[in-house]
Chain A
């Protein structure tokens, strides 16, 4: 069992931190370490240290010497030496740990701590919900089709439960005496504790994942959550540290956007916040260029007022649920698409035809802001300024003598870019105006603060503006017009309305960046998704499977069949073992002894350390009523005197001149079975207890 656990730990660690030596080879070291460590439990600490240091040094040097002598000027022998070194290191580590656990009760705690440290250390990069590294979590989630958060929560719960079970099992080993007394209750206890464990696991798993998925949605999406309810804001001001690279969607551009004024950056608008409620900007019903329905509902609009825009078709495949659709600039038409892979694109798919802007922003220099066709209500909505006079004063100061609104906008954007710092952890105390500590305080904030500050300053000088939310992505990381959107790409930015041109993004990018969640797009994942949405899937047939040297990512495709084979094999051996323990003596007479002790074990009786067989059987008779004293005496007699001819059947020493085996066994076996005195319920219960099987496989002490 120990060997299995440690091998599993090595395999798990190898995923995160490759050893450079195959885990199967390292497991040889583990096996050796466990065997030698168990056998050496009588050694004292000094002896163990001597064996480890001297034995280790000598063996490694000896191996090195032999390899060097026969190496023939090739470094291949050194490479073998490196692998052997790793195996020996693992051997001695396992040896010391096994010895310590056998020798000292507290050592298991050290070992448990060590295992947990390795696990927690390996996953430390996930702190603050950074779920994109190491790859194992993402890969596994991808294969299973669940979110990385779910996998991570499940993983944490499983590790915690395993740690508790491991701890409990290790404690039992030292408390056999005490445990034996309460053996009768153990079956119930096991069921109860398993149930409690599963319940705790279930509750903690759903508690953690639900908490983060519901409450923390904005938290791990750059502070920009989703929402369509009027009067509310999906933005959070506290922190965006949990920002994660979890894939959110795939955009496939059907045409080149050569006139993109913000190239290589691309803004995909999902929602707009234009109503000032006295504390922040919130969603209002006035922004009619935004779809408020779900992505599966069609949306169309005819906008005549916007010029310098060309049509751009995009197909958007949502990997995560979205409340509203998003698209480049003004979506003219949004139509649902046939989902090419509903298992993968859980949020659905749609096609967007956008009016995309195609001009240099400088050409807007002499263009008036706002729209004369707006009614008073609409104009007031986009001009509603913050009541704090400091915004007005600052805006005036920044834009003094600006010849045109365009210059004023540029000055405000430049001012904020120069004097503020981008950080995911502004750590400002809660306040009625969460923007003030950013703008008039330390200048530290992220897109939510920056966009708000830009709009407040713009409105203070009478420029109609709003906040747009959605995704900001880097087109230079796209491939074949396919853009992978991550949660970390979620963004909020300011927009200004120019007469005849419509809403245009003015995104402030601070020059000083303290922390950001930007990482490069996983090109392997992008390519995999490209294949899923490519029309080529319908147009050209798949080639017969062959070695694809491009594919380097780890695949879990083998996991399912491997697990099935593993469990089927395990099940087969368990059933076989059970049959052998129950009726195996008919074929192999020596199994009668094991079968008797196995049955006793399965109903809750196990011989303690130092307890003689006879005492054990007496104890069993006292508490259970089984009468096997004669049988044990016979066993002892055979073992210690080796004279009794009857006992020879147990040792497979019968010869032709003796009675047939079956006859003898029937003669002895039947009274033994009767002597056990098991009730029907006990017989039935013992059938499902696997304890004796594990004891037979791993311990072999009856």
Chain B
């Protein structure tokens, strides 16, 4: 009896699945040859295949459909959509959309239309046309498309968000806000429109309103379950918090974004989190954020990944630089500089990334030169290093020159000088180095102007530190140091300490305690007590990042037993880790000790 019941139940379920009138069942028989299908059948197949994430099969069927029916509007518009959404080949997408438009006018004539199907097709084509123009950065043309759309008396859910986006791109923020607000009130594509409004309000210096809008957008996206995209508004909210120097909430927002189903659809939450951790000198956290992102992307073998490679290299390069792996950092930055694609981040252009990478690469090259100065080399190595050193210095100068030209000429009179400008990829805590290479008569007036323009209290600490670096003003540096936040401003703190470290033993030791790698990158030498202080031990620490000082908190002791030398580094400070190295080759043991002290293991 039970068996019978189960069988009946199974048949019922099976029968339901096989319902030929089920509107949600889009499956098709793949055994029917493509040649035997009509254009409309192929079109339906393509829609199903796109949903099944088989884009190439879908593309082939759409092309077949067009070959069978060259006047098929839907096939053309769907191919346009395919090239826009799945491939990112906007020029080709535009061609298909334009062809669809011309076919539409051939078949239905000029508007007005008196049936809803024709009208909605026309409206849909306008949407595609405006999107293709927008993606080709033809903002004025995109706006004209929307104007034409409105002149026909049309209204669609996508319209407000698209229009406000285009207006934002054209720099008309106030009108963009008005359009987005009207869109929100009319309930047009609420998720996208709310997100757009949040961005616009943040650009209009209304961060608190922006955050409340993003919260509404997040709630809405989360209510959609698997179909929602909450990571986007969460990431945007994090960026606004970051601009407000509310790092705690920014971290929470990015972490939440990464936990969502669409968390690795784009690199931005992971990258923003990694850069936030960099400011805190939490290198392990930064590395993990990028590692997790890459592991997540690896789930999608067909994803091109081109859009995020430069960002990954930038973040990994900065982690390597501050963990003492300068060679690795240089390689990463060079790889990032090779990439010349557009990254999809609102407002972020190739130039933004290039300037950021150039700043970091120049910094790494200088760090390399400083490290070489405190590295034991053979005569031959030293001779070849003279040329290499010169090349690195010239390259660093040249990169900084290029970065400055980009920042001034392409990015509108150094608009990225505003601390934590969302679009920028500059490293703000260390930007003082780049600014100090500009003559004072040029940079100081600009800095003063920026200080007046930027009313955020904590931003002043950055500007003041830049000024202190430019003027080599120790008093101002002390003042900045006292205002830095614990945990969140660690990288900025090392910059301040570095300014003071030149003339103060105490600050040099403080810098070492904060980050031995940064200490070495700047070419400082750590005073150490030698035990025993003999000629051979002094010789052994020559050309290393140490110098002899009898009243230092740090000591290096040498012990020889048989043929083995053991060198120990001991600190009287509890925060500094003691190190030890041993072996038969004295120079190799010393190198190993230096590496263990000045390189941070973050695996």
- How far, in whole Å, are A632 and B603 apart by their CA atoms in the complex? 89
Asked whether A542 lies within 8 Å of B446 as measured between CB atoms, the reply is no
Our pick among A68, A476, A520, A542 for the contact of B302 (Cβ within 8 Å) is A476
B404 lies within 8 A of chain A by Cβ: yes
Our pick among A254, A476, A547 for the contact of B301 (Cβ within 8 Å) is A476
B23 lies within 8 A of chain A by Cβ: no
A530 lies within 8 A of chain B by Cβ: yes
Q: Which residues of B contact A256 (CB under 8 A)?
A: 54-57, 302
How many residues on the A side are at the interface (Cβ–Cβ under 8 A)? 50
Scan residues 304-318 of chain A and give those whose CB is less than 8 A from a CB of chain B.
313
Shortest CB distance A282–B (Å): 35
Asked whether A523 lies within 8 Å of B306 as measured between CB atoms, the reply is yes
Asked whether A68 lies within 8 Å of B441 as measured between CB atoms, the reply is yes
- How far, in whole Å, are A64 and B449 apart by their CA atoms in the complex? 20
Q: Which residues of B contact A475 (CB under 8 A)?
A: 301-302
B558 lies within 8 A of chain A by Cβ: no
- How far, in whole Å, are A536 and B442 apart by their CA atoms in the complex? 54
Asked whether B57 lies within 8 Å of A75 as measured between CB atoms, the reply is no
A543 lies within 8 A of chain B by Cβ: yes
- How far, in whole Å, are A476 and B340 apart by their CA atoms in the complex? 18
A189 lies within 8 A of chain B by Cβ: no
B256 lies within 8 A of chain A by Cβ: no
B405 lies within 8 A of chain A by Cβ: yes
The proximity string for B residues 118-146 relative to A, scoring 1 for CB distances below 8 Å and 0 otherwise, is: 00000000000000000011100000000
Residue of A nearest to B75 (CB): A539
Q: Which residues of B contact A78 (CB under 8 A)?
A: 404, 408, 438-439, 442-443
Asked whether A76 lies within 8 Å of B413 as measured between CB atoms, the reply is yes
**By DSSP majority rule, is chain A's interface helix, strand, loop, or mixed?**
loop
B63 lies within 8 A of chain A by Cβ: yes
Q: Which residues of A contact B401 (CB under 8 A)?
A: 20, 82
Please tell me which stretch of A39-47, A400-408, A478-486, A574-582 contacts chain B, meaning at least 4 of its Cβ atoms lie within 8 angstroms of it.
A478-486
How many residues on the B side are at the interface (Cβ–Cβ under 8 A)? 56
Shortest CB distance A470–B (Å): 20
Residue of B nearest to A78 (CB): B442
Our pick among A75, A264, A539, A541 for the contact of B442 (Cβ within 8 Å) is A75
Please tell me which stretch of A268-276, A331-339, A500-508, A548-556 contacts chain B, meaning at least 4 of its Cβ atoms lie within 8 angstroms of it.
A548-556
A258 lies within 8 A of chain B by Cβ: yes
Our pick among A67, A75, A253, A480 for the contact of B89 (Cβ within 8 Å) is A480
Our pick among A65, A255, A535 for the contact of B56 (Cβ within 8 Å) is A255
The proximity string for B residues 54-95 relative to A, scoring 1 for CB distances below 8 Å and 0 otherwise, is: 111101100100110010000010010001001111111011
Shortest CB distance B299–A (Å): 11
A81 lies within 8 A of chain B by Cβ: yes
Asked whether B136 lies within 8 Å of A549 as measured between CB atoms, the reply is yes
B98 lies within 8 A of chain A by Cβ: yes
Residue of A nearest to B441 (CB): A68
Q: Which residues of B contact A653 (CB under 8 A)?
A: none
B341 lies within 8 A of chain A by Cβ: yes
Q: Which of B60, B70, B138, B341 has the most CB of A within 10 A?
A: B60
Scan residues 403-440 of chain B and give those whose CB is less than 8 A from a CB of chain A.
404-405, 408-409, 413-414, 438-439
Shortest CB distance B593–A (Å): 26
- How far, in whole Å, are A71 and B438 apart by their CA atoms in the complex? 14
- How far, in whole Å, are A78 and B409 apart by their CA atoms in the complex? 10
- How far, in whole Å, are A254 and B70 apart by their CA atoms in the complex? 20
- How far, in whole Å, are A517 and B340 apart by their CA atoms in the complex? 21
A515 lies within 8 A of chain B by Cβ: no
The proximity string for B residues 263-286 relative to A, scoring 1 for CB distances below 8 Å and 0 otherwise, is: 000000000000000000000000
With contacts A79-B405, A550-B91, A552-B340 taken as known, whether A258 is within 8 angstroms of B413 at the C-beta atoms is no
B487 lies within 8 A of chain A by Cβ: no
A170 lies within 8 A of chain B by Cβ: no
Asked whether B56 lies within 8 Å of A481 as measured between CB atoms, the reply is yes
Having A539-B66, A539-B67, A539-B70, one finds 18 other A-B pairs with CB under 8 Å, namely A71-B441, A75-B408, A75-B442, A79-B408, A253-B56, A475-B302, A476-B303, A476-B304, A479-B88, A481-B56, A527-B89, A536-B79, A536-B92, A540-B98, A548-B136, A549-B136, A550-B136, A552-B350
Q: List 13 A-B contacts (CB under 8 A).
A: A64-B442, A73-B445, A73-B446, A73-B448, A75-B443, A76-B409, A79-B404, A535-B63, A539-B67, A539-B70, A540-B95, A540-B99, A543-B98
